[in-house]
Structure 1
Amino acid sequence: MVLTVCMIVPFCLALAAVSDLLTMTIPNKLSLAMVALFLILAPFSGLAWSAIGLSVLAASAVFAVCFALFAFNIMGGGDAKLLTATALWFGFDHSLVVFLITVAYAGGGVTLLFLLMRSQAHTVMAMGVPLPASMATAKKVPYGIAIAIGGFFTFDQAPIVQWAMHALG
């Protein structure tokens, strides 16, 4: 069970990032798997029921903000679902704030990289280097990459991961 906690969520984030890069979509099954895994593991993790409830509250708050961004066509639906599913793992404490700030910084970096690549896409493709449409022609940025980066850098601070590390000794 401990290995599941430490491996499945980063794996889902990596798959989401690759899918978003290549297809500009994030499969719903990845976000659903992360939510289901949390709901299955949380009661056995040693987290208090109140902490589990706060995790659900945190995910709900993130979803509300993301839904508003989606409604104004600022954020994609897959990005909103992935960010919500990942926020569930961080609870409603400082680790969520650290995660969200890291995602914001990563998002800035990813956006700058994509703008640079798009400005040079013709040159890069002329050299024979194929670029995914998300880098060459798309108008939006695949933010799932930034969410995954934020998750990779901060996942060790998630309460369940802290429990898993403690359980490992």
Structure 2
Amino acid sequence: MQILQFTLLLVFPALVVIGGLKDLTSYTIPNWISLALIAAFVPAVLISGAAPSAIGLCLATGACALAAGMGMFAAGWIGGGDAKLLAVCGLWLGWPAVLPFLLVTGLAGGALTLGLLSLRSGWFAPIVAGGPAWVRRLGAEGGDIPYGVAIAVGALATFPQGALALAIGV
């Protein structure tokens, strides 16, 4: 039984990493990643033994994260895939783990932004020019920030504090 619990829990970090890498290399997070995370949440919750109140808080946290992500998308701060990834991370992590998740995500986003500003400063132009297409896109002046990377860092860092991980006893 415990092997099945751990296997279901591993879906979250695996798909979050894939989402972050896809955003880094293509500036998109495919919808199938968010849908797979939602689909995997159901059996993970059922097998975790989490209390109904914890499950309710996970659902409420995911809904609030979706609303916040939609607002940030409407403001042009993040992309649509970022908003969906933020929401499913909120769903999986629940309350109160979402607070450190948001803090780590914000710090990772700031570090990512500073790193990309450095990359785009001109000092690394020869390296960027000789790199693969996705590196050239990252190094392009005025380019977007693949915030899915920061969301993935925040999710991975705080996953052990999440409601499902705590219910299973990770």
Report whether the alignment pairs 1:111 with 2:113. Answer: yes
Give the structure-1-normalised TM-score: 0.89
After TM superposition, list the pairs within 5 Å mapping 1:69-80 onto structure 2: 69-80=72-83
Q: Which stretch of structure 1 is more off in the superposition, 114-123 or 73-82?
A: 114-123
Report whether the alignment pairs 1:163 with 2:156. Answer: no
Aligned residue pairs, count: 164
Give the structure-2-normalised TM-score: 0.89
Report whether the alignment pairs 1:144 with 2:140. Answer: no
Aligned-pair CA distance for 1:133: 4.1
Q: What does residue 46 of structure 2 align with?
A: 43
- Kindly tell me: are residues 122 and 156 of structure 1, through their superposed partners in 2, closer, same or farther at Cα, counting changes over 3 Å? same
SS in 1 for 2:146: coil
Deviations 1:77-129 (A, max 9, x none): 00000010011111122x11011111010110011111111123423235x34
What CA RMSD, in Å, does the superposition of the two structures yield over aligned residues? Answer: 1.7
After TM superposition, list the pairs within 5 Å mapping 1:1-169 onto structure 2: 1-93=4-96, 95-120=97-122, 121-126=124-129, 128-130=130-132, 132-137=135-140, 139-165=143-169
- Kindly tell me: are residues 31 and 148 of structure 1, through their superposed partners in 2, closer, same or farther at Cα, counting changes over 3 Å? same
Identity %: 35
Unmatched 5+ residue regions in structure 1? none
Does the aligned pair in 1 maintain the 2:24–2:146 contact within 8 Å? Answer: yes
Does the aligned pair in 1 maintain the 2:9–2:44 contact within 8 Å? Answer: no
Aligned-pair CA distance for 1:43: 2.4
Q: How far apart, CA to CA, are the structure 1 residues paired with 2:21 and 2:145?
A: 13
Does the aligned pair in 1 maintain the 2:30–2:81 contact within 8 Å? Answer: yes
Does the aligned pair in 1 maintain the 2:62–2:90 contact within 8 Å? Answer: yes
